[in-house]
Structure 1
């Protein structure tokens, strides 16, 4: 067992009421990142974004999953599928970013693949007697759409998201995420460890201070509830005032009653899909590590169906987008300061608040995946 792995397992061996923040080495060790790539990001379901952002056959996006280049696209049958983004000839990567294609054409030698990954044609290969294009196809990668989220995994044996995450539906039956529509997305790279950003999302203890200039006053610490999570996700909720109307149930919504009309859910789907879900809008982060000291972030936001139909929706959405830009700037500052602190020889992990139960459960999840 590596030293960081042992320190992590020791860290979660105590009950929550005596728990402390995770050891520094878990965040700063390149050796530990390699373990995470192999045992977590190559093993569990990772979110590639929202299915509604690929509405037409040929619409695609790309990502790197535990070092594997991946294409996600909508095929000619209307299904969202994933496959290797590496040509079967001389192993060039094929597509970059997001876009639309009629077929997948290798930029190196123009080998051309259909949207199902089968090889359509390869120039100047007719004199090769051993070549048979029917035998060549881009390897398939498991891909499922769960509640509107595109989930991919390299693990052929992983339980389907609908099974592994069925507790999410049970938790919030009156907020169907599949009916929400993404309206904005971007990617960015911050100078912090991916787990620092994940943990920052999982607890709202930091809101009054870190977000004093934005959302810090919209909820109170004494109203925050952090129940026990599950093996697949943790969650908590906060009750919002009317500072942001889009965070509340639309006036036409007759399904939600009482506090549910102003409840904001924070769902941390392990390992790295982080969803803030309100009756009116959602925003999310999907994280992948970039070494110990950087994280790649997919950030997106959108609205519920009833708010999408509201004539004033664009104005409300613009205000929320401007607010979230400021919130992200605050989180960037806070999480990058944490990583700089983790590099200090004098730094030591301290005891957790009762509002940081999700962080402790996240550490338990990591320990369950990392050998030791």
Structure 2
């Protein structure tokens, strides 16, 4: 019997003109998920959120990346830093959620670390002649900022984020995404596979139907452009009408001209950062699997500088958040239905539309990472 990797190999060997959706096994197999954790999430850059959410010294967030607990914080010198969220004593996790600390204190025995991860104090250790504070610094994890996003990786050899996304920066540089201000963050867990939700974002073919009650009427299928993807990301674009003013360039925005003043980019940065970037606002999903049938979602959004400075910004923000809440509810319903369906014994992958080109490229990326690891390669 073929395993999920063999089935995916056959799937991605087809040219795009004959492409089909990925086979059900790549969504439902525990063994395939473990390959994804080892060969993708433990190797590539993962988005931890926006740098603007960690403005002051000691501001922190935590996450689990490929089963590794991680702290990301702003240290005393103003730099972003990531480190293992595991005490060097009896290995308790140290921090939870988000917040602000002056120092990191273990909740088990009060070993205390400075914001740079160095051990500050350890009670009742003076009789241990082999104990040395300098040998008990929290392990550092690679952390980089790109266009206002925080990226972390467990892989010491991963190419820099900016190098991998140079082409994307060329494409969207005039939007000035680094200057957009995050105004809200949330976390959710949905009952679907992480790739189902990623693929749902990557194609706008579903908008007229799944989002008929919200944004389905704001875009026309015939105006969607879905070019071939790049090595580290894929994207497609939509031209919005003036129904949602905040999706268009503000009158004070002089960076964008012509159709770019109403253009929306839907960007998927591999493995799992999904960004909707408009001239007026952005919103995003950063996805991490919680087993084959669940996905942890970090969700947030915000506005361009011109809208943040607009006296009507509060009303615009309220309108946007209400819209995004309803859009997410619609997406949750659709993606959970997809996972229930592909878990059926009768499920078979169907042919892809030309509007699902990003999904085809995503499948190529998934297989490429897993095949490279199997061949002893990597980055």
Normalising TM by the smaller chain, what interval?
over 0.9
1:291 partnered with 2:291: yes
List gaps (5 residues or longer) in structure 2: 375-379
Counterpart position of 2:13:
13
Cα displacement string for residues 312-360 of structure 1 (whole angstroms, at most 9, x for unaligned residues): 0110110010000000000000000000001111111000000000000
Structure 1 ranges of 4+ moved more than 3 A? none
1:42 partnered with 2:42: yes
Q: Counterparts of 1:2 and 1:65 in 2: how far apart (Å)?
A: 29
1:24 partnered with 2:13: no
Counterpart position of 2:210:
210
Q: Counterparts of 1:31 and 1:319 in 2: how far apart (Å)?
A: 43
RMSD: 0.9
Counterpart position of 2:245:
245
TM-score of the pair, normalised by structure 2: 0.97
Q: What displacement does 1:2 show?
A: 7.1
5 Å matches for 1:135-284? 135-284=135-284
5 Å matches for 1:74-93? 74-93=74-93
Cα displacement string for residues 32-76 of structure 1 (whole angstroms, at most 9, x for unaligned residues): 100000000000000000000000000000000000000000000
Q: What displacement does 1:173 show?
A: 2.1
Q: Counterparts of 1:243 and 1:126 in 2: how far apart (Å)?
A: 68
1:58 partnered with 2:69: no
Q: Counterparts of 2:158 and 2:8 in 1: how far apart (Å)?
A: 24
Counterpart position of 1:100:
100
Q: What displacement does 1:253 show?
A: 1.3
Q: Counterparts of 1:116 and 1:339 in 2: how far apart (Å)?
A: 42
Cα displacement string for residues 152-188 of structure 1 (whole angstroms, at most 9, x for unaligned residues): 0000000000101111111112112110010001000
Q: Counterparts of 1:2 and 1:308 in 2: how far apart (Å)?
A: 53
Q: Counterparts of 1:171 and 1:249 in 2: how far apart (Å)?
A: 17
Paired positions, count? 372
Q: What displacement does 1:255 show?
A: 2.0
Counterpart position of 1:334:
334
Aligned to 1:370, what secondary structure does the other structure show? helix
Aligned to 2:189, what secondary structure does the other structure show? strand
Q: Counterparts of 1:262 and 1:251 in 2: how far apart (Å)?
A: 12
